[in-house]
Structure 1
Amino acid sequence: MSKCEMYVYGGSKKEQATTKSMVKRIFPKLAFLTNADLLLLGAPILEDAFPSTLQEKTRQAELMATRLAKLGAHHAVFLLKNCLFLPKLLYILRCSPVWKFPGLLRNFDEVLRSSVVSITNTKMTDSVWRQTSLPIVKGGLGLRRAEEIALPAYLASIFSAKRLVSSMVADFDVGALCAAEQSAWVEQSGVELPMPELRVHQRLWDQPIVQKHFLAVVAS
């Protein structure tokens, strides 16, 4: 049982302590998880675990950034865009509502920005960084910011799981589940929600926000 873990949910703190004590007598090597430790396949389940998870991803990004400096610029930018930064975080963005922690996502993005500055040996103002983080089709380098893509990724993931969850939970209401996310998206994008049957596509959640940032870059 040394590799087994247990999380006690519900009840008062006293009841949880009693439960842990009883289980501990039977399985002395069992590890008990706290709210901040509770992960499922690497994705944090409760908000208490979001900061530590994002901070660890940022630390890993910093380590990778130091190693990219040893490569040629073209190879480094390719790996930066396609392998080592946002692709490493996208699973968590889709599984957990980490969009609620923009400051931590911004820290991750700043590591990406610093890495691009180092690789390209250029000064990068806020305006240049905004353009750099746009998709290639919009004149950027496609180095997308986690802070910008977190909400579209999470919304698309929720609606993608709607059919499966509805088959198991008869009264499942996806609209009520992600009402806050949808309101935040409308505020960020400035447009109406996508058509219900198209909400499974992350691109449709992402495009209006991209367009808004693109127009801001053009106007600056």
Structure 2
Amino acid sequence: MDDRAWSQATLPIRIGGLGILKISSISLPAFISSVHGTEKLIRNILSSSLINFNVPCFTEAIYTWRLTCPNSNPPDDPSSQRRWDEPLCRVVQENLIATSTTPAERARLLAVGE
């Protein structure tokens, strides 16, 4: 399987992939959503003296997500991994379509991605 085929295979089924999860692709949305999902618990566990505690690397993770998805806004439900992952997957899908080498490949990618 070449790199292009692998990139498509790792997309969710709903946008034309096989749904094979790549750890390097889901780690960012998983981290961001888990921080949002546990933020209240973290604040409750920590003492009031650490109320301004920040999760290490969280700001950098959000920055990386925004760089990768410049035309997307953070999701309404920030604790949903799927909502953070969706724009990242769309970037991969759009890149595959934009770099299609034949009209048939482009048509196939457009057809399966809807």
Q: TM-score range by the shorter chain?
A: 0.7 to 0.9
Residue aligning to 2:40:
163
In the TM superposition, 1:36-185 aligns within 5 A as: 124-169=1-46, 170=48, 171-174=51-54, 178-185=58-65
After superposition, the Cα gap between the structure-2 partners of 1:193 and 1:166, relative to the gap in structure 1 and judged at 3 Å, is farther
1:202 aligns with one of 78, 81, 104: 81
Q: Note the aligned Cα RMSD (angstroms).
A: 2.1
Contact 1:159–1:174, Cα closer than 8 Å, also in 2 = no
In the alignment, which of 55, 62, 66 is matched to residue 186 of structure 1?
66
Q: How far has the Cα of 1:185 moved from its partner?
A: 1.1
Distance 1:165 1:177, change over 3 A: farther
Deviations 1:39-61 (A, max 9, x none): xxxxxxxxxxxxxxxxxxxxxxx
**Hey, what does 1:212 align to over in structure 2?**
91
Quote the Cα distance in structure 1 between the aligned partners of 2:72 and 2:16. 25
8 Å contact from structure 1 (residues 165, 172) kept in 2: no
Change (3 A) 1:177 1:141: closer
Aligned equivalents of 1:191 and 1:183: distance in 2? 13
Task: Verify the 8 A CA contact 2:35 2:55 in the aligned structure 1.
Answer: no
Deviations 1:162-202 (A, max 9, x none): 0111112231455776111111111122245425x611110
Q: Distance in 2 between matches of 1:126 and 1:212?
A: 16
Change (3 A) 1:180 1:141: same
Instruction: Give the unaligned 5+ runs of structure 1.
Output: 1-123
- 2-structure distance, mates of 1:218, 1:193: 22
Q: Between the two proteins, what is the percent identity of the paired residues? A: 26
CA distance in 2, matches of 1:142, 1:160: 24
How many residues end up aligned between the 2 structures? Answer: 96
TM-score norm. by structure 1 comes to 0.40
Q: 1:174 to 1:203 in 2, by over 3 A?
A: farther
Q: TM-score, normalised by structure 2?
A: 0.73
Q: Pick 1 or 2: higher relative contact order, CA cutoff 8 A, min separation 6.
A: 2
Q: Which has the larger radius of gyration?
A: 1
Task: Return 5+ residue gaps in structure 2 as ranges.
Answer: 100-114
